[in-house]
Amino acid sequence: MPDRRTTLLDAALELVGTQGMRALTHRAVDAAADLPPGSTSNYFRTREALVLGIVERFVARERQMATGPRDEVDATPDGVAAALGRFVDRALGPDRAVTLARYAILVETAQNPGLREGMATGADQVDTWALDLVTRAGSRDPARDLGVLANYVTGLVLHELALPSPDLDAAGRIRTVIDTLGWHAPGS
């Protein structure tokens, strides 16, 4: 069972993902976490401290998601496309609230430079793992290709959140991007 601070931050992430940053108040987090009034302010005295806590928790969850299935990803162009396709499907389905929170946090980071360090640290850790995978999967320019894929997936998810396609084949679209980048399966 998570500690109270983690419970509050998970409730805050869910709140931001379902109702947006404007809904983020200490009282709303208390209610979402089903804890007594004042619980959130005991851990986070200001809204800024709460937002910093959310970024920290978000980064921890992203790191866990990215590093958890690493051994399950087939280091081939098809394997990377399939894994990223599954990520997109989860982001638009069962993890939709966290995905919406991700974009709200990114916008908040653009408006509050103090949040950038926390977000950058999390991104660097995920990028280290992803760069190794992209290299093993046959990329000839892994740093460039990782940036292209990350930006494509980010844009695809954002677009699908706003204007869903009835027949989205995320893995197929991502495989097209990989083919355009000129990857070759290891050993070919």
Domain ranges of the chain: 4-181
Angle (deg, nearest 10), helices 116-136 and 96-111: 120
Architecture of the domain spanning 4-181: Orthogonal Bundle (1.10)
Q: What mean pLDDT, rounded, does the chain reach?
A: 89
Cβ 97 vs Cβ 14: under 8 Å: yes
Quote the pTM value. Answer: 0.83
Distance (Å, whole) CA 162 – CA 169: 16
- Residues of the chain with pLDDT > 90, as a percent, come to 67
**Residue 84, helix vs strand vs coil:** helix
pLDDT score of 70: 56
User: What pLDDT is recorded for position 149?
Assistant: 96
Angle at 156 between CA 21 and CA 93, to 5 degrees: 65
Q: pLDDT tens digits for 133-164? A: 899 999 999 999 999 999 999 999 999 999 99
* pLDDT tens per residue, range 42-74: 999 999 999 999 988 988 887 776 655 555 788
Nearest to 161 by CA among 96, 117, 68: 96
